[in-house]
Structure 1
Amino acid sequence: MLGVFVVTDEALNTLLIVFMKSNTYNNMKTISLLFIISLLINGAVIESVSVNIGFSITFHTNTVIQSDDVIEWRHGYELVAKRVRGSIFLFSGSEGRFTDRVKLNYETGDLTIIEVRSESIGDYNLQITGEKNTRQTFSVSTRGGYTDHVTSLTVMEGDSVRLKAGVPDFENYDVIRWRFENSSLAEINRKTEIISTHDERFRDRLELDRWSADITITNITTDLSGLYEVKVDSNRGTHTIHRSYTVTVSDEVKSVSVMEGDSLTLHIDIPIQRDDHTDWGFGPDELKPDSIQSLYRYSERFRDRLQKDNEIGSLTITNVTTEDSGVYQVRIIMGNFPQSIKKRFIVTVTARDRSSGVSLGGSCVGVLLVLVSSQVL
């Protein structure tokens, strides 16, 4: 005989309380499984979501929220956000993993996870209790093994910067929108096959990749410093992936002098992490910085005179000669993420008078520090 069992909300809540008071509560996997089973029994919708580490994600309830509805969001079995009796409560989670990283929209019930990390992956369970009960689960995974927490970028005027849209799967995302300082910048709509750019300030220097939806800004100027935002909407309207970048365009110039025979240390002034590494290059013509080649090509010229500090990334050249004048460039590879930051130093070495021991011509050494970002974010 076929039997149909109907499990009410009260019965499920009672069952959860019994388990939580028992020794089974110590088994987190059991509690998570029990919660998911309760969702399935009550017709919860389960949707798979993929997001890049470092990007934010907003889950949409897609339902009309009543003033007296109770809204609960859980990560696995842990409560992370709740709306009840006109108030919003946010929870830090175990070991504070959600501290300052959760937002709950009071009007819509949408949940935002700020800068997704590895500990943020898993199932997010929504339960709305009220006139119309709703349950839904978003199963979140990440793409790629890299970590990217860079949201503030500094570039030199006249250089290029690339900002990553972070679209994880093109089949599930239709609309990608870029904004600059609250004005529309660029958009890709896959349904209508429309690709458009809007801001005249970016004429002839904004490149929009139709496949990745990344943008590249060439010949950037100081007036393009500011906040850049990207939003990627799923084609079902269930969630949005988004991120903000603060871009600073600098025209700063610094100078320093060094004499022939002295030592010169080039400091990158950027914190180096354990997984980062630096790659130094040199070009003998300071007027042609694009001719920079790896220092390995000049091993004979710099034989036994180079010292590289792997902890802070600096490069020291001992007993410098006039032939060492030119452009030095360092490329900083940040972790496993395909991103690099470049710095250039234009160096001129002043020759000494061999007979008197003083410098000839009173020339000074100029070091031009150029912050060049060549990010692929």
Structure 2
Amino acid sequence: LIRSDSELLNKMFHMFILFCMCWWRLIGVFGETVSLMEGDYVTLNTDDIKIYEDDEILWNFGAEKFILAKINREAKIFSIFDDVPDGRFRDKLKLDKQTGSLTITNITTQHAGDYQLQISGEKLTSKTFSVSVYARLPVPVISRDSSQCSSSSSSQQNCSLVCSVVNVGHVTLSWYKGNSLLSSISVSDLSISLSLPLEVEYQDKNTYSCVLNNPISNQTQQLNITELCQPCAADISQLYSGLPLFYLVMISIPAAVSLFVVATVMVFWIYKKYRKTDQEGNDVTCKHPIVKLSVKILGPFWVWNDVMSVMEGDSVTLNTDVTEILEDDDILWKFGAEKSRIAEISREKQIFFTYDNVPDGIFRDRLKLDNQTGSLTIKNITSEHVGLYELQISGAKLTSKTFSLSVYGE
């Protein structure tokens, strides 16, 4: 009797498995995962499913199963419902009437989620597409820790650096020494700022890079130690404090003479460029920004910046002084002490962006980026646009330039 019950249970189990397999075959359940970048398009295909003339096709989105599209050939129904939910699919859906495939154009993170295809006819077929959307990654910015020179405990042998990015999510920021990972930090939130410190020696000859990546893309910024890790002013003064007065005088005199000659040439060039004389001999001032020469002496080093003054309501162009951007160059424009990103070019990735909604929308509809040279034009200037504008060109070498802009009234 025990053996009989055991055989009966065994047969029932096998029949249950057979029933599940037949039901699975009858329904036809499939799944697919898709990952893509913001701004791209994706086509959710029905290619692996045979569609009959009397089949009805239905596309649903999300846990609420909002209906996005419907096909019923027999009833001549080919409909797209792009106003739900919240209008996020408006003008973004395209339905292939022949195959039933659904295309989503200019995709954003709002369109991430599960898309369910249901085909009902002779049998019920279901397929789910799990779509992940990632924002385009900015290029990481490497800067020197400004607190190092002001700190009395800062090491004279080491240079403190910070790699940072803003408004990112679902990413990892990492420091590499060659191909070896030194440190990293990850975040899953949206629109957050990340920073990762690094300390190197002034004379370090190794190759360092900061990498920002998500599951489908990455951006890399190479570290130029020579460019960023200049000795602090205090270190330079200590270097020269031990020299005899005679040597200090001998160093200072040629530097002062050279500075005077260069300043004279620059003033003459500016005068010739921005002043004209009319036929009566009266002076006529061209409507151009007033450009001044700013020179800082830091020991034996000279730092040159452009100081520009422009009339309120006029336009000004911050020039990169390059005729053409190289294919692998990345150009970044930043504004203010917070170094808010206002423009970016990466020709290799076909990125030509202006971020005129930051900070506080003061640049809205005022920025124009020259895709050929990378120069930035600011239109209809007001006192809100006063401050420092920093240009960074990274590629075969790292180039940096600062513009100090002031605005005056009529």
Please report the TM-score for the alignment, with normalisation by the length of structure 1: 0.36
Larger C-alpha radius of gyration, 1 or 2?
2
Higher relative strand content: 2
Which of structures 1 and 2 has the larger relative contact order (alpha carbons within 8 angstroms, sep 6+)?
1
Higher relative helix content: 2
